[in-house]
Amino acid sequence: MIVLIHDGKKVVSLYFEGDNVPSIDFNASDSIVSILCKASKAYSNELIIWVNETYKDIINFSKIETVFHHKRVMCSYSINGNYCISSHIGYVEQTPYTNITRHVEYPTWMMSSDVGGIYTNILGTLIEHTENGKGFDYFLNSVAKLGMSKGLFCYSQPNLIKGSESISDKKKSSSIYDVFLFTKQHYKFIWTVNLLLCFLFFEKKFLLLPFLKSLFIRQLNTSIDLNQIPIKSIRKVIDKKEVDVIIPTIDRKDSLLNVLKDLAKQTILPKNVIIVEQNPDTNSKSELDYLTSESWPFKINHKFIHQTGVCNARNLALSFVESEWVLLGDDDNRFESNLIENLFNNIKLCGINVATTMYIQPNEKPAYFNTSQTDIFGSGNTMFKSSLLKNVSFDTAFEFGYREDSDFGMQLRQTGNDIIYFPQIKITHLKLPYGGFRTKFKPDWSEDLLEPKPSPTVMLYVKKHYNKFQKLGYKFTLFLKFYKKQSIKSPLLYIRRMNKQWKRSEFWSEYLLNKKTDA
């Protein structure tokens, strides 16, 4: 392990961690980035830890091995929560990655020079693609942002330090210029324009100079391949290869039968299949006669209820989980016989608690092919450790709306559990039409004189999980996209109307929360 100590402007020392190990020679006049890059080229397959000299005595070396548990992990920790790319980046990006939960291992490309680390092979692969002329912090953020979508696992990691008792109040400055330059280099050009307009509309600042300066900066090359660096985690996350499958269903007798047949062919069979069948007719009976008339190689726990709603059904099913792992399923999925085996194999390789698969419809072409962190959570194609259910559940405030699965994924992240996408594991989602007694749900706001925009459940998600800048960035993008789809062509009249619709959405999202509380 190589340790690089710096003072924020230059390298103070560079050495191999351990007793009686000599220091590594370096040119003190070189930049921190230059010395880091030279070390990565000179020493193959080594972990490099960087730390500001202010914090060198609180590095938690005892946790380093488990933090960097495979060679595609990049971690840092900002002692005071400040980054060189400010929270204004939320105007551009509304993913979970820019609103960090600091007390847990949290997925993010936002990196800090306070303390962190990366393997030399990864750094050597990414150096030529990144920005290295803007300072150390900017360089680290650029490496993480480019690498994350290509299979670099990036985190804010509080376990890098021993505690907070000796931490100073040293602050790190962020520059509006850096936000514009970073946006231009790492996103499509239109987002730089959006950033300029968000500052104008929401902060009454016309930042023309930072915008113009960014125009002369090239967009960074994203043709990066990290697959030559294999993933093999030292974390032990699987005690037993036992899994329960949960399936909420409503009036899909034939397609559910096909799901059960696919499960019966698995090379690793589920221990329990928990089915929650819903029918709003209080006089109805279950139509799933084959659950008892046919023989199955796993235990089926069947619950028949008259309350509809997928959040309630999933929570009910999850309450009966017995195995170490749980697979969230759907009643119109199809998959190969090695689905569960492949999930276990990849969970072991990556040392993770949550795994999600490719989830595409028939004839749909996949668009993403890297094993990587994902901002998406699929409630019909994800397997996770059942012990996590102590802290998470499907929020019934989202019932009959959108984003209940995204909210569940955010709960997992906020409790320190990353979601990893495996494109080589596929579940086909047939996306069948509604069954016979499925009726269109009529929300409470359907009689509102002014249609809320966005949907109140989407607004609920925004209010729960977005910071101020993400919320405003989402609002700007929504207004812009919807302008083409409506009849009001006067921009002023349109904005006035949309602001009213936005306020109605905020009202109804609060209503949903209160309704759930009162239930």
**429-435 own/partner pairs: CB under 8 Å, 24+ apart:** 429/330, 429/332, 429/333, 429/359, 429/360, 429/361, 429/380, 429/381, 430/255, 430/332, 430/333, 430/334, 430/361, 430/362, 431/332, 431/361, 432/252, 432/255, 432/332, 434/251, 435/250, 435/251, 435/252
pLDDT of residue 446: 87
Tens digit of each residue's pLDDT (9 = 90 or more) over 432-464: 876 544 556 788 898 888 999 999 999 999 999
Match 């902060």 to its residue by tokens: 203
Match 């006089």 to its residue by tokens: 283
Contacts of 416 by beta carbon, 8 Å cutoff, 6+ apart: 101, 104, 105, 106
40: left (phi over 0), alpha (psi -120 to 50) or beta: alpha
Tokens of 491: 């921009």
Tens digit of each residue's pLDDT (9 = 90 or more) over 218-229: 888 778 889 889
- For residues 127 and 129, give the distance between their C-alpha atoms in angstroms, rounded to a whole number: 5
| E strands present in 210-365 | 243-249, 272-278, 299-305, 325-328, 333-335, 354-360
Domain spanning 243-429, CATH architecture:
Alpha-Beta Complex (3.90)
Q: Determine the residue type at 456.
A: P
For residues 136-151, give the mean pLDDT. 94
- The phi, psi pair for 404, rounded to 5°, reads -65, -35
Tens digit of each residue's pLDDT (9 = 90 or more) over 83-133: 999 999 999 999 999 999 999 999 999 999 999 999 999 998 888 778 667
Check if the beta carbon of residue 251 is closer than 8 Å to that of residue 438.
yes
- For residues 334 and 426, give the distance between their C-alpha atoms in angstroms, rounded to a whole number: 9
Can you say whether the dihedral through the CA atoms of 89, 95, 99, 100 is positive or negative?
negative
For residues 365-388, give the mean pLDDT. 94
- For residues 354 and 299, give the distance between their C-alpha atoms in angstroms, rounded to a whole number: 24
pLDDT of residue 367: 84
Contacts of 290 by beta carbon, 8 Å cutoff, 6+ apart: 257, 260
pLDDT of residue 168: 55
Tell the burial category of 58 from Cβ atoms under 10 Å away from its Cβ (0-12, 13-18, 19+): middle
pLDDT exceeds 50 at position 206: yes
| Percentage of the chain exceeding pLDDT 90 | 80
pLDDT exceeds 90 at position 147: yes
pLDDT of residue 487: 84
- For residues 25 and 39, give the distance between their C-alpha atoms in angstroms, rounded to a whole number: 10
pLDDT of residue 386: 97
- Band (pLDDT 50/70/90 cuts) for residue 397 is very high
pLDDT exceeds 60 at position 250: yes
- For residues 312 and 293, give the distance between their C-alpha atoms in angstroms, rounded to a whole number: 27
Tell the burial category of 430 from Cβ atoms under 10 Å away from its Cβ (0-12, 13-18, 19+): middle
Tens digit of each residue's pLDDT (9 = 90 or more) over 30-75: 999 999 999 999 999 999 999 999 999 999 999 999 999 999 999 9
pLDDT of residue 88: 96
pLDDT exceeds 60 at position 503: yes
| Percentage of the chain exceeding pLDDT 70 | 95
- For residues 343 and 242, give the distance between their C-alpha atoms in angstroms, rounded to a whole number: 12
pLDDT exceeds 90 at position 465: yes
Q: Which helix (H) or strand (E) holds 494?
A: helix 491-518
Q: Determine the residue type at 202.
A: F
281: nearest Cα among 260, 304, 264, 265: 304
- Give the start-to-end residue ranges of the domains of the chain: 2-214, 243-429, 445-518
Separation of first and last alpha carbons in the chain: 55
pLDDT of residue 432: 80
Q: Determine the residue type at 444.
A: D
Alpha-helix residue ranges (DSSP H) falling in 337-455 = 339-350, 404-414
Check if the beta carbon of residue 138 is closer than 8 Å to that of residue 131.
yes
